[in-house]
Structure 1
Amino acid sequence: MSAPALPLPPPVAGERVEVGNAATGRVAAWVAGPAGTRALLLVHSVNAAASAAEVRPLFEHYARTRRVWAPDLPGFGASERSDRAYTPRLMTDALLATLDAMQRETADVPDVLAVSLGCEFAARAAVERPGALRSLALVSPTGFRGTRAWRAAPGSTRGVPALYRALRGPGWGAALFRQLTRPRVIRYFLERTWGSKAIDEDLWRFDVLTTRQPGAEHAPLHFLAGNLFSADVTTLYESLALPVWMSHGVRGDFTDYRGKRVVEARANWRLTVFPTGALPYFERRDEFVAAYDAFLGALAR
């Protein structure tokens, strides 16, 4: 019999609010910062140990001057982790529900910053709800690896049903997930994300805890089977009409951005490359926020 899960602390230092609806199930978001300021929505990535803890340095920095929101996407953190289909539609609906909650608090149009696979969901939300976002920042976004363009039917995914069935198996999916989320394995994947052994130890500790929660395997198994990757992501990125800032690093596993050629010449896109791994704001927060603030400052002018 497995030991009971240790309580999961908040991923960031903010007030917990519930923003879900019938389409999303329970979605927890964390909010901090002065009311009445332009809101900033931070969207974490998707992986075996994902949560809003992945955006903690930015949450802490911007909460001093802005109203900052950071949801735990469905299947992760403090949000519902039930056994259901985890798809781009579900994740996008969770972001739209968060935007609805933000709009009830203020009429200001927020800025949105998303990380890795979270960028695909944020882009879809921006395309589906024109005018709901002032700007979109994409940090190490998926969908640009290699030179292949992804322009399949709207809403289609890159999921492989047979692979999902094999991963889940007749009862061994949870055991497989436990093997993939042993503390040493989590450290290994963070080192590949950083491109260095100098990872953020607080994030590693939180990742270990969050993967021990009931139902933690459900969303990651869909992720591993490709069910959360959009097969129309190139079309999504090309459809973005609002100002977009894209950034990425040069170390680790997430350095192939040859596909960005389809957007880098567009007038509404700005690109910055940092001498870091895939989460540059953990390594060079001041440099990262200076570049992001310069992008936002240009919008204000």
Structure 2
Amino acid sequence: MNRNHALSPALKGERRTFETDSGTISYYFANEGESGQPPLVLIHSINAAASAYEVKPIYDRYRRQRPVAAIDLPGYGFSSRRAMCYTPRLMTDAIHAWVARIAADTGAAQVDAMACSVACQYLARAAQERPECYRSIGLVSPAGVDGDPQPGANADATRGKPWLYGALTASSAVSKTLFAGLASRPSIRYFLEKTFGGKDVEPGLVDYAYRSAHQPGARHAPWSFLSGYLFSADAAGLYRRLSQPVWLAYGTRSDFSDAAARDIVQQHTASTVVSFDAGALPHFQQLEAFVAGYDRFLASLEASA
């Protein structure tokens, strides 16, 4: 790895690690507040250059108010980037292990959890499988539901295309060359502009995404993403079966958010759906409005407790 691409911590606070069957999981933790609220746990999206930096504005806002943690999912950031096929099951199990770790560290019986984009599927599955661990669920621009061809699929089914995954991974030299193009600065900026719905992309996000995509093994999880293996075949059902109160936020300026997911969540009796004049990560462009909306949602939980 070129020293110019060295990866520094994405967030303030303490960076902690623990071991799982899929390797080391890294996460950030801060507990500077005295609010007595449950920990807030944050999960970044899935793409070619993802990391916990994608939740930085939310993490920074809340770290002085309450316990807050942000994970680097397997294959991203400081977590292990093994050469293997990454799946929703692997990501969900990582969230299970991480939330259990947060509960042990803080003594909290439940967390408020928030995920972005495709990772909303993994959070929804985790909350469905262990509902007692989650007080509420936050979904930021959930993706991967439109055109769902397998609404009755089992929990381990994905949309993976073996032929595409094989083509992307068969030759190490070809795989590295292809990923070098995908992980170039112009490519990263192009996709982030699509995500933000314009050119007002936070420069720090571009730089950190570029550095993250140039770590050893950085191509492995993105190839699983691009070949469909990180998309759940039963995504629509996951959102329908949520039992916790749900807060869904999305930006109107990006294509990277599914109207189908919003329609499903709006039918939930304890849901709140809010929109922002922003892209798929509205907390970077409309932080004050985003936080105000989420705080109102949290206040409604406490009022009804």
TM-score by length of 1: 0.95
- Residue 82 of structure 1 is matched in structure 2 by 82
Give the superposed CA RMSD.
Answer: 1.7
Matched-pair contact (CA < 8 Å) for 1:147–1:258: no
1-side partners of 2:184 and 2:5: how far apart? 15
Map of 1:222-301 to 2, 5 A cutoff?
Answer: 222-301=224-303
The residue type equivalent to 1:180 in the other structure is: L
2-side partners of 1:209 and 1:298: how far apart? 40
> Which residue of the other structure, out of 28, 31, 38, is the alignment partner of 2:29?
31
Q: Deviations over 1:108-147 (max 9, x none)?
A: 4110000001101111110111210000000000134358
How many residues are treated as equivalent by the alignment?
299
- Residue 135 of structure 2 is matched in structure 1 by 134
The residue type equivalent to 2:95 in the other structure is: L
- Residue 20 of structure 1 is matched in structure 2 by 19
- Residue 206 of structure 1 is matched in structure 2 by 208
Matched-pair contact (CA < 8 Å) for 1:149–1:234: no
Identity of aligned residues (%): 42
The residue type equivalent to 2:6 in the other structure is: P
Of Structure 1 and Structure 2, the greater helix share is in 2
| Higher mean C-alpha deviation, range 84-93 or range 213-222 | 84-93
Aligned with 2:132: secondary structure? Answer: coil
TM-score by length of 2: 0.93
Cα pair distance change 1:149/1:275, threshold 3 Å: farther
For structure 1, list consecutive stretches of 5 or more residues without a partner in the other structure.
Answer: none
Matched-pair contact (CA < 8 Å) for 1:20–1:98: no
2-side partners of 1:148 and 1:299: how far apart? 35
Q: CA deviation at 1:97?
A: 1.0
Cα pair distance change 1:167/1:5, threshold 3 Å: farther
Matched-pair contact (CA < 8 Å) for 1:20–1:97: no
2-side partners of 1:18 and 1:147: how far apart? 35
The residue type equivalent to 1:30 in the other structure is: Y
The residue type equivalent to 2:126 in the other structure is: A
